[in-house]
Chains A and B, each alone.
Chain A
Amino acid sequence: MKNNKLRPYIIAGLIAIAAYMVLLFGSDGGYLSNFIVYVCLFIIASQGWNLLGGYVGEISFGHAVFWGIGAYTVGLPIGYDLNISPLLLAFAGAAVAALFAWIISYPLLRVRGFPFLVGTYGLGVVFEKVFVASPKLFATKGVFVANDLNRFFLHGMIFVLMIVVTVGVKWLTDKDLGLRFKAVRDVPEAAEMVGVNIYHTKTAALVIGAFLCGLAGGLYVLYSGFINPTTAFDSSVSISILMGPYIGGIGTVLGTVFGTSIVIAIQEWARSALPFTGGQHMALGLLLIIIMMVSREGLFPGLRKLALKLSGKTKDKTKEKKAA
């Protein structure tokens, strides 16, 4: 029964991978596939954010920290000319981010709601300031990360990882742990009453999410070839990570995929269409307001509801007909 639930996701994922491969090899990695890579990286990070923000319901404003840790775990050794496999570094970055999340969970997850949000935001600010002020960490200069990874290979791998992460998160959220996430979000006091340790449950969501953000950050550096404190830790990175789930539908994996695609597309569009500082944020803010006015839960649940309503209406009509 469980497998049946997951099967459409796996099939859709395989189709998407096949379609992407055709596009990739047909178009020699032009602008579009470049754009798709960035979308995929942010989807991986957003799925990670969504575990805590969407499924457990604890909104973080600082997941860029984990992204940045992943990025610098790749960037620093390469910046110091150490001869380590870049791909190995990317996964090490994910592990370091997860480890850091586990350590920081101790003070951070003692609070919830607004204090938690502010705490995570502050964490991002601290990291950015520390990196800006440390010449040993290449300060504002940043690190140029040359690597000889094949571009096609990177494109393909990042896309496949995005699919694997999306299906994996879907899988996780139907497992016992994932159900506990939702239970804590729905009624924390009742979750405690059935033996759920809320703190441990949130820690699990934070650590797994940090792993995914760290992975995305590390791959981002490998792909873009450059990292500095702003592209690693700035709150605009956190916003890009959390905006996708918000717009697409918080606590849904498909909503995160759609939402993040829209967010990155709008940022891309605003870069040229609104070429003043804050233009991108303005566009995103406007979009968020519009979506919240139309469907509070985000695009994806809104559309699903609409579909249900439409099909429900037709069902009712058939019932009426039968009655008549």
Chain B
Amino acid sequence: MAFGGMELFSGINLSFEKDKVYGIIGTNGSGKTTLFNIICGVLTPTHGQVFYEGNEVTGMKPWQLSRKGIGRCFQMVKPFNSLTPYENARVARSSAGHYSKGEEKFSLDEIMELTGLKDKRNIVTSELSLPDKKNTEIARALACNPKIMLFDEVSCGLSGEEIYARMDLMRKIADYGISIIVIEHIMMFIKEICDEVVVLHAGSIISSGDPSVVAQDPKVIEAYLGGRKL
């Protein structure tokens, strides 16, 4: 991927397996969100290919990929502010979710329950708190019937308790057989819920594998201590 003079991810090869929880960590500007944008079709890589379920999907548009089962939550929350959480989910269910009819893992009511929005489902989203806006985004992504969910720093800006609730939620989602990739800054979070972790630094992968092993990797420690702090 190239932005002007900057090169990210040249000559890398990354694959994510089904039914696993992956974590991605990396310093600011290391390319985590860019990686998500490539997976979702927001950005088309300048070189290289993207495969999903064995088929090449390079250059496909986000709306096509979401219909194939890729769900995403944004780093900066972007719920549909003039709609209620329930309506947010309805948009997703009637659009992307429509293409996997009959395979729904949750009904919209169950999604509201799961994301803790049951009591707030009919309040306009713009009037909700930040954690509930994030929940609305998760609900919306779940309503797409995703096979894989991408979370971009969803714990950012949340209190400790809310982070634990978020970890529980992710485990539940994983238990339903949805693969997960999370971008997180908190190593504890990654260690708790991820099967594998990928460490990015300045647009390349410096380490990957089991979270507790990666945390001891000298290159990772160097990048974090020598570079910016975690």
Contacts and interface: CB of A to CB of B under 8 A. Distances in A.
Interface string B152-180: 00000000000000000000000000000
A192 B62 CA distance: 6
B83 A186 contact: yes
A291 interface: no
B25 interface: no
Contacts of B219: none
Interface residues of A, number: 18
B82 A194 contact: no
A253 B164 CA distance: 43
Given A176-B91, A189-B42, A197 B80 contact: no
A191 B98 contact: no
Interface size bracket, B side: 20 to 34
Contacts of A193: 40, 42, 62-63, 66, 72, 74, 141
Given A189-B78, A194-B143, A179 B63 contact: no
B61 A192 contact: yes
A310 interface: no
Nearest to B146: A194
Interface in B15-66: 40, 42, 61-63, 66
A195 B95 contact: yes
Interface string A154-188: 00000000000000000000001001101101110
B196 interface: no
Given A176-B90, A189-B78, A194 B83 contact: no
Contact of B66 (A179, A182, A194): A194
A190 interface: yes
14 contacts: A176-B91, A176-B94, A182-B82, A182-B83, A183-B83, A185-B82, A186-B81, A190-B140, A191-B80, A193-B40, A193-B62, A193-B63, A194-B140, A196-B95
